[in-house]
């Protein structure tokens, strides 16, 4: 049995928690940033459906049935999400915590927007 690996110098980069980023990390961050507002709107609509027992669309109540305003709002939210996530991309644990905090934060914002109606 060889113990050669015990006498080698420790490579500090192997123990670093910072990831080297590739194009896949950026693509996944953009994809997750865009899907986050849709997930929040879906969760809130499911909550209201379970609470009231009826299908009730609180986002388009008495408004035009155009999809364009919804796409514009979700795109603006996606850009904000991506800019917030950008500093956390190199750290895997912090990145997951940032995803969770953004999801909860947008849930609170959308909840308050619904309460204002």
* pLDDT value of position 37: 86
- Counted residue by residue, the chain has a size of 117
* Residue 104 to residues 30, 36, 40, 43, Cα–Cα distance (Å): 18, 10, 8, 11
In the DSSP assignment, the letter for residue 89 is T
Q: Is the pLDDT of residue 107 over 70?
A: yes
Stretch 91-115: mean pLDDT, rounded? 85
Q: Is the pLDDT of residue 32 over 60?
A: yes
Q: Is the pLDDT of residue 101 over 90?
A: yes
* pLDDT value of position 31: 92
Mean pLDDT score across all residues of the chain: 76
pLDDT in tens, 42-72: 887 777 777 776 655 555 555 555 666 778 8
Label residue 15 by pLDDT band (50, 70, 90): very low
Q: How far apart are CA 114 and CA 117, in angstroms?
A: 5
Name the more confident of 74 and 68. Answer: 74
Q: How far apart are CA 23 and CA 33, in angstroms?
A: 15
Give CA 61 to chain center in angstroms: 26
Please check whether residue 84 is in contact with residue 100, taking contact to mean a CB–CB distance below 8 angstroms: no
* pLDDT value of position 110: 80
Q: How far apart are CA 57 and CA 41, in angstroms?
A: 10
């Amino acid at each position: 049995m060889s113990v050669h690996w015990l006498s080698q110098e420790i490579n500090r980069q192997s123990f670093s928690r910072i990831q080297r980023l590739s194009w896949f990390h950026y693509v996944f961050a953009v994809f997750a940033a865009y899907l986050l507002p849709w997930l929040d709107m879906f969760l809130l609509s499911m909550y209201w459906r379970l609470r009231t027992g009826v299908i009730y669309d609180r986002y388009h109540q008495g408004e035009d049935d155009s999809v364009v305003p919804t796409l514009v709002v979700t795109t603006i939210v996606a850009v904000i999400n991506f800019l917030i996530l950008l500093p956390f991309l190199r750290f895997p644990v912090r990145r997951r915590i940032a995803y969770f905090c953004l999801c909860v934060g947008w849930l609170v914002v959308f909840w308050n927007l619904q309460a204002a109606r």
